[in-house]
Every structure is written in C-alpha cells, then in structure tokens.
Amino acid sequence: MSLYSMRPEPQPQEDDEPILLSVDDLQNASLDWAVAKCFGRDKGFKPFGHTVLLQRSNGDHTRSEFSTRWEDGGSIVDDMKIDIRHLEDGCEASIGSGSRTYAGPTALVAAMRCCVGTKLGDEIEVPRVLGLRILGLKQFGPSM
C-alpha cells in the first residue's frame, strides 16, 4: 500500500505474463499485434475477434488487420520490399536473396510474418490473452 492511498498497488499476476511464440505460429490477432509492435503501435490494444483494436493518439481504437487486409498490410510489403512467392500450398516471403523465408497460408500472412521476424526476431513475447489463442489452436485444432 502507498502512504497516500489505501488501495494496494497493482502487482503483476501470472495471467499478465507474456507467452513466447515462434513467428511461424503467429496468426490472426497475435500476428496483427506483432506487426503493430514492429512500428511502436502495440500499446493500448484490445483483442477483437480474430484481430486487434489499436489505440490511436486521441484515445480512440481502430481495427488493424495487417495480416488479412491489403489496405492495412500492403504498404508494409512495399515499404520493406518484401518478396512474395506463391506455392501450391501457400506462400513464402523474404527480404532479399539469401535471407530467411517465412511461410503462410496467404501472401499477406507470409509477408507479415516476414516483417515481424525481420524486425523483432524469430521468437516474440506476445500478451498472454493472444498467445493462449494460438496455443489452444495448436493443442485442440481450429474451432468450427
């Protein structure tokens, strides 16, 4: 407790601890959040279905779907000069020859994984609320 307040100071809880995930496992909201983190826009997020709402400077929240909407993620592909290759069973993305390749079921997912991996590394700590969704999918399979 603080001397100036009768309320206890917030203590970190186990539920608040981030989860370490491979960039290859990021999808939906966790991937969109990680892309936002690459550009310093990850604060004040709210999970929203399969994506996230990111807080604007005025306090409002805006939907950000970097991994599913070209309107949100396309400029990142152009700005980072991400190369995308279409395969029979998905896509691959990389930056320049000889660099690591990132895979995804769609061109935009592969490109956003490439963005995150290039800027933040191949493993990233994501907020528990987003990471548990991924771990649940890996353990139980996608829900119908």
Give the domain ranges of the chain.
20-139
Look at residue 128 in the predicted model and tell me its pLDDT: 83
Phi/psi at 124 (5° precision): -140, 140
Helices and strands: H and E segment counts in the chain: 4, 8
Give the residue-averaged pLDDT of 64-87. Answer: 94
Of 87, 18, 39, 73, nearest in space to 102 by CA: 87
Task: State how far the Cα of 113 lies from the Cα of 107, in Å rounded to an integer.
Answer: 10
Contact 91, 60 (CB under 8 A): no
76-102 per-position pLDDT tens digit: 999 999 999 999 999 999 998 888 999
The yes-or-no verdict on residue 51 having pLDDT over 70 is no
Which residues pair with residue 87 across a beta bridge?
90
Which CATH number is correct for 20-139, 2.80.10, 3.40.50, 3.30.2120, 2.60.300?
A: 3.30.2120
Contact 94, 102 (CB under 8 A): yes
Q: Indicate the pTM of the whole model.
A: 0.78
The yes-or-no verdict on residue 113 having pLDDT over 50 is yes
118-139 per-position pLDDT tens digit: 999 999 998 888 877 665 544 4
Mean pLDDT lowest for which of 40-44, 62-66, 91-95? 40-44
